[in-house]
Each structure stands twice: as structure tokens, then as C-alpha cells.
Structure 1
Amino acid sequence: MSEPIKKLPPNAKGKVRYRFVVDAGTDPETGKRKQLRRTFNTLREAKAEYARITSKRHEGTFVPPNKITVNEWLDQWLVMKAEDLEPTTVYNYRVTLDRVRGKLGNVRLQELTEDHVVAWMRWALQGGRVRGGKAGTGLGVTSVDMSLARLKDALNRAVTRGLVTVNVASEVHIPLKARKAERKTNLAVSLGYA
């Protein structure tokens, strides 16, 4: 078997680089083989990355890089979900996910982190209202919880489809303090104190 890492001829600046090409599975839509080409400045870096990728591939946990954004994935996910849902439910999912899209939509799906989701949740609770009520005030806990639940569902499907390795939103939840504060405010309003 030939060496998978090839030494490239010096470039215009006289720099030698190292490259390998590795199978990255098949495209689910076309069925064609996908390959990943990686180039490094040192042989050591190339060997380390080649070992990491081949190890993950053998474990079945390798996810090839892609440029899909959160918005693009949510669009695809909603099309898949629409086959099993009533039109009114699909509409509600769209409205619920629109709360997420404004802050997280342009982030690449593979670059989305738990910190992104937590920052979005805090923003939504504190100033995420854009319609219905005073703009810039916080959304209700139930509204944020519904958006978070839909995002978790979409990210679970992204894991299943091999687009990401983990659902970064799986452990994000509305803080107990926010839930208690909303209950207290609602009670005060219902009793006429606010």
C-alpha cells in the first residue's frame, strides 16, 4: 500500500507541504463517494490529522466538514418534519424557530456550541421579544422553552444524519430562577398587585 501522506513540491515561497486524501463516506443524496483532502505545513501535523480521521472513521463517529448553517439545516429539517405534521403545526414550528434564527441562523452548524445556545436563551429571556408586546422585553419562559425544544429536535436529527457529532443544545435548559421569577410576576398580576 502506498503512503497516504504525500510530500508536495515546494510552492512559490519555497515551502514544502504535506497532503492526504481520505474517504469521507458517501453522499446520501447522490450515493457517490466523498473524499476529504487536507494539506499541512508539517509531516507531523498531517500524520496526526490522518490518524484522527481514520480512527474516527473506523469508530463510525467521523463527520466530514460541511458549510451548512443553522438556518439551512432548520429549513431542511422543517421540510422533513412537514411530511408528518399538520400545516398548522408546521407553521407553529416555523414561528418558534424564527426566534432562534435571528441570533444563531448564520452560524455554521458544525461550529455551533453550547455557549451559543445558552447566550441565545439568555438573550431571549431578557430581550428577545420582537412582536406582540413591547419590543426588546423578554419572551416568556414557555415561548423560549418551546423554541429550545424544537432546536434540540432539529439538532438530534442532524446528529442522526451525520452532520454533527453531538447535539450541543441537549443539556441547555431554562434556569429555575427564571421560571420562579415568571411565576411570581404572573401571580402578582393575577392578584392585582402589578
Structure 2
Amino acid sequence: INQQIQWMANEARKEIPNESYVAKMYDFVKSKHKSGIAWEQTRDSIYIKYQVNQEDGYDITSKNLYCNGCFAAGINYAASLVSLFYGEGDIKETIKIGSLAGWDSDNPTATWGGLLGFMIGKEGIEKAFNRKFSNKFNIHRTRQNFPNNGIDTFENMAKKGMFIIDRVVQEEMGGGVNLKDNVWYIPQKSLNNNTADD
């Protein structure tokens, strides 16, 4: 699964404009991971580079926000990459690192835990945690005004997710969906024509 994760991350990076701080954060975290240093050192390097030194156009610190912008998408994106790369496709390790490495640490755990869970399915999640889980989710624990009083099932969310992926493959990527064979046909082309080192 780690190989699939790395492939998806690299493919996604190709779509990010090279001059954006998002691309630079990706490249920075990936280079730290490749260097073999511990994830904790990479996390600390992110803090110095982006919150102390405000490099690559990331200037949240200069805005004097509450908790130095701990909730900001940019810094949490960088932190999430730490858990994605260092978790190496292991859902428990990815969630653990995401919880410990993030500024607003529910972001990477929800993002990558959700992706990995989607990839390995309920059985894979239950096997990884050695326990059974409910199939229901109550989003009203942290958010409000969702249909069905905030109760949803993971099966229903997976169906919605598949529908969204099918639409993106067809409408945004110019690909196709074969429901009979359960495959997507995705053209090998970059939407933004950016390049990133693997």
C-alpha cells in the first residue's frame, strides 16, 4: 500500500504549481523523509522553516493570529505530509504520527486515516486495530446542520466517495469508468504540466 500512496502523492504533486508554497512544502517534507531523518526532526524543521523563518511565501506568523495560526491549512498541510510519508501506508502509524505531528492534529489524521481506510476497507481497519468498529458516524459531534441529524454510515460515505471519484475521472480528467470490470481509465497527462522530482 505504501507504493500506491507514494505514487498518488507524486501524481498529485505534479498538479501543484511549482512556485506555490504548497509545492515547496511538499518538496521540503519529501526531501526530509528521503534523507532518513526521524519524523520528529522533520516536524521541527517545518516549524523553523515556515513558522519561524516564514520561507517560501508562507507568512502566517506575520499576521499575529491566535496560536500563531495553528489552525491554518498551510502548516497543517506540511504536518500532514509528515504523517503520510513517514506512516508509509500503515494506518495506525500514519494516524499516530498525524496526531503527534500536527498543529491542528485532527486534520492529517482525518485526511490520511480516511484515505487509508477507504483503501483497505472496514475489514482492513478492524484487522489493523484488532477490534470491531461501528458502521455509523455522527458528524454533529463537531459540526452542525447536516442531514439525517448528522448520522451517516461508512457504507453510504464510500458510495458517495466512489460517485465523486467517478465524476472527477470522467469530467475533470477526461477518463472513463467501466462499472462491469470495476476499473477507471485515467489518461496519463498532467493537468497543469508541472513536474516534481520523485
TM-score in terms of structure 1 length = 0.31
Ranked by relative contact order (alpha carbons within 8 Å, sequence separation 6 or more), the top structure is 2
Bigger strand fraction:
1
Bigger helix fraction:
2
Higher-Rg member (1/2): 1
